[in-house]
Chains A and B, each alone.
Chain A
Amino acid sequence: MELDQFAVKVFVRLRPSVLDPAGEATKSASIKLGAEGIKSLRIGKMIEVKIEGNGENEVRDKIHLLCDRLFANTVIEDYEYSLEKL
């Protein structure tokens, strides 16, 4: 049986309660560039995964495990992901 192919985009963000000094520095540079109106700027990570599996549910389970145990440290980070069947 041919396995289903998926493209997954995982977004990892620092939790709102965690100070993001890199985001603050980038916000400061953005203002120096002349961009107005920036209220908040926080930097996260995007991880692209191509993965195959037996149906969407199985792949979601795998991605959930990866996010929870490796891609994000849930002490300081939140994650979300989008999944596209190829």
Chain B
Amino acid sequence: MDNFTVGVVVFPGSNCDRDVSWALEGCLDIRTKYLWHESSDLSDVDAIVIPGGFSYGDYLRCGAIARFSPLINALDEFVKSGKRVLGICNGFQILTEAGFLPGALVANKNLNFICDDVELDIVSSKGGWFNNGDEKQTIKLPIAHGEGRYHCDSDTLKKLLDNELIALRYKNNPNGSSFDIAGITNEQGNVLGLMPHPERACDETIGGTDGLFTLKSLILK
């Protein structure tokens, strides 16, 4: 795994790119490379993180402009090849806008920008993104979003349930998300989108290490 490199996508307005890189390099000794959104060459990265932030100032809708970047266009082939893609917060919004994950993220029910630690139930083991043992597992991760209310229609929700695509559910739904959904995967399991920030929970000195497992799982085949 010495050469395994995680690409961290940088859009104008990304603001968690350095946190993700710090968590991967400093806490997990995984090499990272920043990928400017105008690049479509993904040949020298083995997994990709689309970090949080406010790409293109959230103009029009969160993630709506970012999905048309050359990098996101190139992502289709990357995903089809089975390589892993993790979208955190704005990254999750971009993945839904681009159609890699179903549903959409809309304004929080109470209209507040919520910055807090939340407890989450790990629901599915699909993709191996979470430490999902025999017993029901709960983790605590920080959230920081104004538009994190997951919304999908009932047919999509049924598909998510039937195919075990719901990765994480809020214990105390903070934003009004359908079915308390905090994170979902695609059917293959190699794409995960979630509103909580695992990269902000990778060191005890900043409040917890429950995010380590998810970032570490980027190197899974």
Contact = CB atoms under 8 A, between A and B. Distances in A.
B103 interface: yes
A21 B107 contact: yes
Contacts of A19: 106, 109, 149, 176
A75 B64 contact: no
B60 A70 contact: yes
Contacts, number: 35
A31 interface: no
Interface string B84-106: 00000000000011000011101
A22 B107 contact: yes
A25 B111 contact: yes
Interface string B141-156: 0000000010111000
Contacts of B64: 70, 73
Interface residues of A, number: 12
B61 A75 contact: no
Nearest to B156: A75
Contact of A76 (B111, B151, B176): B151
A55 to B, nearest CB: 27
B153 A21 contact: no
Given A19-B176, A21-B109, A73 B104 contact: yes
Given A18-B151, A25-B111, A76 B60 contact: no
Interface residues of B, number: 20
A79 interface: no
A86 B162 CA distance: 52
A17 interface: yes
Contacts of A70: 60, 64, 68
B46 to A, nearest CB: 30
Interface string A19-40: 1011001000000000000000
Nearest to A74: B104
A75 B110 contact: no
Contact of B110 (A18, A21, A73): A21
B60 A21 contact: no
A76 B178 CA distance: 13
Interface string B104-145: 101111110000000000000000000000000000000000
Instruction: Identify the 7 closest CB pairs spanning chains A and B, nearest first.
Output: A75-B104, A76-B104, A21-B111, A73-B104, A21-B107, A21-B109, A76-B151
Interface of B: 60-61, 64, 68, 96-97, 102-104, 106-111, 149, 151-153, 176
Given A19-B106, A75-B102, A76-B151, 5 more contacts: A14-B106, A21-B111, A70-B64, A75-B96, A75-B104
